Structure 1
Amino acid sequence: MNILLAQMPIADAQVELNLSNMLSMIRNAPLDTDLIVFPETTLSGFPTPDQVQTTGLTTHSKPVRLIQDAARKRSIAVAFGFCEVADEGAFNTALLIDGSGRIALKYRKTHLWPDTDWGVFNAGSHYAVCEIASLRVGMLICYDIEFPETARALALLEADLILVLDGNMIPYGPVHRRAVITRAMENQCFAVLVNRIGEGKGLSFPGESVAVDPFGTVLVESTDGHPVRVTLDRERVEQSRKIYRYLRDRREVPLRVERGSSEDGIANTVSFIPG
């Protein structure tokens, strides 16, 4: 699978401008591109609560349809984010459009970040995967990657590749780089993280997008603010799982907590004991 890590500047609450930049990247992507991955809230940026109704979109909105059309014309899958409005409220949502222009996967961010998400978005509650170019793909958004349970949920759904649509600001950029390497290694799958660049809402976004293989090896990263490409070989997933498999070998042990003195007389201990 050939992936374009399309890190880009995003204008908060300016859907038309962001859409224009996205469509340009899709039209001009290299001919052998299978998948383009954009950052978190690519279309909308981070809206304020009073901007949700004017910036929010549904999966049937014109900008989404235009991206579907562009994906179909180029036979390229596209992953992007936006502010989704629904009957249940607003969500920080990612869509994965396949090469025929159909919505293959929708994911709503489950772990909300205080500065940009709280008071604006509701939290999602589901994880899912789909197949793109012979790889099973799942998606996470920004802060999600800091929680091992999110990537593990996708691994349990047999994901070969985890896409992380990122909107991570300075000084926290290195946190997600470290986290995505760990998530790839501990779940023996590829991970691709694409962050935005530039300024927005008084924040600075460093890019630092990265692709990691199932051994935790960095395959490519962007250090100059430009999009980068990477080729993923599914055989690498099989190699990482050949001798040992974390999902097979892990032990799920129910635990209970007991407080008190330990057997050797040390007081005030807290013990985790199989329940």
Structure 2
Amino acid sequence: MRLALLQAPSPAADDEAAFATLAAALNAAGAMGAATLTAPEIYLPGYNQPDIPARAQPRGGAWHQRLATLCRAAGCGIVIGYAERAGERVYNSAIAIDAAGREIAHYRKLQLYGPRENAIYTVGDAYTLFNLHGRTAALLICYDVEFAPHIAALADRGASLILCPTANMLPYTHVARVTVPAMAVNHAVTIAYANFCGSEGDLDYAGGSVIAGPDGEIIAQAGAHPALLVVDLPAAYDPARMSTQARDLRSL
């Protein structure tokens, strides 16, 4: 399966700029035969915007309809973070839409990061797993992927691929460089971690978006600037290089 990953600056609440960037990335990814494109956390309207609750949209709302149209036109699916309005609550959410424009997965962030996120968002309460071109995939968002119990729980449920929108900022460059690849190899999963680059308000994003394989290899990684990563995932990996920790763990 071929995967694409978008690293880009925040659209900073400019919907037209956001959808222009997404259309270009989806069209390029689709032309290269990618099954899906993963984009950053709260890409809509932008992670560090001051008026998130006022801009949040309901699941299935205008953003989703525009995304579905872009996916159909490009022949490529998308996983993207957005601010979800659900009645009086706002969630830090991610949605997966397939190349036909159908929603195939929806997820709400479990591990809210810091006082700002906890003041804005309601905590999610469930994992999300789904079929993506014959592979069992799951969604996580940013801080979620730094918790080994969540990765282990998804692997135990059969996930082999985790798609993770993120808004990782400086100075936390170790997350993409060390934490994500370690989580991938320790739990025998592939992780696609899509980050912002550039600045938004008082945040400087770390870039470094990465696709890490279950065999300990970094398949592709971006630098500090906008990038579109496109990779082919092997149909199988060398069993000798795959983690056996889940099988070998001794409980005390």
Q: What's the TM-score once normalised by structure 1's chain length?
A: 0.84
Q: Which moved more, 1:187-196 or 1:42-51?
A: 42-51
Partners in 1 of 2:247 and 2:41 — Cα distance? Answer: 32
1:229 aligns with 2:230: yes
Call closer, same or farther: CA 1:48–1:34 in 2, change over 3 Å: closer
Partners in 2 of 1:182 and 1:23 — Cα distance? Answer: 32
Partners in 2 of 1:23 and 1:9 — Cα distance? Answer: 15
Structure 2 unaligned residues grouped into runs of 5+: none
Q: Which residue of 2 aligns with 1:33?
A: 34
Call closer, same or farther: CA 1:47–1:237 in 2, change over 3 Å: farther
8 Å Cα contact 2:40-2:167 kept in structure 1? yes
Q: CA deviation at 1:246?
A: 2.9
8 Å Cα contact 1:69-1:101 kept in structure 2? yes
Call closer, same or farther: CA 1:19–1:74 in 2, change over 3 Å: closer
Q: Which residue of 2 aligns with 1:182?
A: 182
Q: Which residue of 1 aligns with 2:76?
A: 76
Q: CA deviation at 1:48?
A: 5.5
Larger Rg: 1
| Residue deviations 1:146-202 (CA, integer Å, cap 9, x gap) | 111111121122011111211000111222431111111111111111111111121
Q: Which residue of 2 aligns with 1:42?
A: 43
Q: Which moved more, 1:193-202 or 1:22-31?
A: 22-31
Residue identity in the other structure for 1:190: T
Call closer, same or farther: CA 1:115–1:73 in 2, change over 3 Å: same
| Greater relative contact order structure (CA < 8 Å, 6+ sep) | 2
Q: Which residue of 2 aligns with 1:105?
A: 105
1:67-146 mapped onto 2 (5 Å cutoff): 67-87=67-87, 89-114=89-114, 116-146=116-146
8 Å Cα contact 1:188-1:240 kept in structure 2? no
Q: Which residue of 2 aligns with 1:246?
A: 245
Call closer, same or farther: CA 1:202–1:237 in 2, change over 3 Å: farther
1:247-262 mapped onto 2 (5 Å cutoff): 247-251=246-250, 253=251
Q: What's the TM-score once normalised by structure 2's chain length?
A: 0.91
Q: CA deviation at 1:206?
A: 2.6
8 Å Cα contact 2:12-2:49 kept in structure 1? no
8 Å Cα contact 2:206-2:224 kept in structure 1? no
Q: CA deviation at 1:47?
A: 5.4
8 Å Cα contact 2:188-2:214 kept in structure 1? yes
Q: CA deviation at 1:72?
A: 2.1
Call closer, same or farther: CA 1:238–1:189 in 2, change over 3 Å: farther
SS at match of 2:119: coil
8 Å Cα contact 2:25-2:228 kept in structure 1? no
Residue identity in the other structure for 2:231: V
8 Å Cα contact 2:5-2:229 kept in structure 1? yes
SS at match of 2:7: coil
1:52 aligns with 2:53: yes
1:193-232 mapped onto 2 (5 Å cutoff): 193-223=193-223, 225=225, 226-232=227-233
SS at match of 1:227: strand
1:61 aligns with 2:64: no
Structure 1 unaligned residues grouped into runs of 5+: 254-273
| Residue deviations 1:235-265 (CA, integer Å, cap 9, x gap) | 1286655xx63333334x4xxxxxxxxxxxx
Q: CA deviation at 1:133?
A: 1.8
Q: Which residue of 2 aligns with 1:263?
A: none
Partners in 1 of 2:235 and 2:160 — Cα distance? Answer: 8
